[in-house]
Amino acid sequence: MSKNICIVAGARPNFIKVAPVIRAIRNAQKSGVDVEYQLVYTGRKDDPTLEASLFADLDIQSPDVFLEVDCENMNELTGMVMAQFERYLQDHPTDVVIVVDDLASTMAVAIVTKKQGVQLAHIAAGTRSFDITMPKEINRLVIDGLSDILFTAGISNNSIANKEGAELSKVYMVGNVLIDNIRFLQQRMKRPAVMDEMHLEEGKYMVLTLNRKAIVNNIDEMKSLITVIDSVARKAGIKVVAPLRGKALGFVLAFKAYQDVADHQSGIMVVQPQGYLEFSYLTAHAMGVITDSGNVAEEATFNGVPCVTLNSYTEHMETVTVGTNELVAEDPEKLQNAMEKILNGEWKKAGIPDRWDGRSAERIVQIICGE
């Protein structure tokens, strides 16, 4: 009997994590496994963060269905996604719904899935900050609590899932699915045109990404962090390449305009947001990365590139304990020290965590098809 799978993405980073699962399902189909799938995006078809090249780069099709929900208020968004996804399940017979990570839209899908009596599988389960004041922590607890199958990335996530009462038989340590993508794309990375335009040499620049609302919406914090990044870069005579969007972009452009008036040559180089393959190349060949993104920190660990995370915690502690990542919170002094360590070649020795072997998606599909 054919198994119908629905894979749901709630934002751009989710596609990067579900792409290996889609490729693994296609491989299973080729080898005769009777399985069908649809890719559903909770957002809009004209979402500007989903450039056409993203799906080609990841070797997956664009979503089969768009729920067309776009809303700033997370509670409203949750309700709207629940209503739209309920309609989807009523119109599309589904055996398993696969969700990833911890967005409000993911939680909404999880609730509806269980109310409709459909099996729910959660990729990146058992991820905790242990800070219940964070909205995403509540989302995680709800999603994991409702899931029939929990796919974890590492030992620590496994023990969390088990402690919270999940049945051992339903918790599978499959490894980090993001790494499947990095391994898959290693041969396909593209040297971005911006490197020639800006005369950047491999290993002689840093990369900055900023998206976290807690930082971007705090002008004082932004000012102190950007000032440090700019000043350390200028003193060292290196460039910090910043493919930014939204508020972070606006702030850094205003900061640079002020620098120009003051006749300082800014150390931060703002560039257009890059395609996935170009961005992967840019970070893989940097001397260091400054970010507030867990995905970017994981990629940096895999590539052996020093990474400074502007957060006081990470859901993937193995990037810190084993990998190249260091947490500096929003502390300008710690950030300065970390940047100077990178520039002086004094970064810690690091390795690759367990089960980062690029076969996580294959394990996920085998387990789901065998259920």
Q: Give the pLDDT band (50/70/90) at residue 131.
A: confident
pLDDT tens digit string along 251-266?
898 888 876 655 567 7
Q: Both tokens of residue 127?
A: 């991820």
Q: Are 54 and 93 in contact (CB under 8 A)?
A: no
- Domain borders along the chain are 3-175+356-370, 193-343
- Give the pLDDT band of residue 271 (cuts 50, 70, 90): very high
Q: Which residues of 208-221 are buried (b: 16+ CB within 10 A; e: fewer)?
A: bbbbbeebbeeeeb
Counting Cα atoms < 13 Å in the Cβ hemisphere of 144 gives 28
366 and 31 Cβ atoms separated by less than 8 Å: no
Report pLDDT digits (tens) over 291-306. 999 989 999 999 999 9
pLDDT tens figures, 346-358: 999 999 988 889 9
Rounded CA separation 313/21 (Å): 27
> Across-strand partners of 122?
99, 150
The full length of the chain comes to: 371
Tokens of residue 101, six digits? 């990570």
Is the pLDDT reported for residue 136 higher than 80? Answer: yes
Q: Is 243 exposed, middle or buried (0-12, 13-18, 19+ CB in 10 A)?
A: buried
Burial of 62 (0-12, 13-18, 19+ CB in 10 A): middle
6 pLDDT tier (thresholds 50, 70, 90): very high
| Helix count and strand count (H, E) for the chain | 16, 13
- Higher pLDDT pick, 328 / 216: 328
Class of the CATH-defined domain 193-343: alpha beta
Asked if residues 61 and 39 have their Cβ atoms less than 8 Å apart, the reply is yes
167 pLDDT above the threshold of 70: no
**CATH class of the domain at 3-175+356-370:** alpha beta
Give residue 132's pLDDT: 86
Q: What is the pLDDT of residues 228-250, one digit of tens each?
A: 999 999 999 999 999 998 889 98
Q: Give the pTM.
A: 0.85
Q: Do domains 3-175+356-370 and 193-343 have the same CATH topology?
A: yes
pLDDT in tens, 20-42: 999 999 999 999 999 999 999 99
Distance CA 363, CA 245 (A): 35
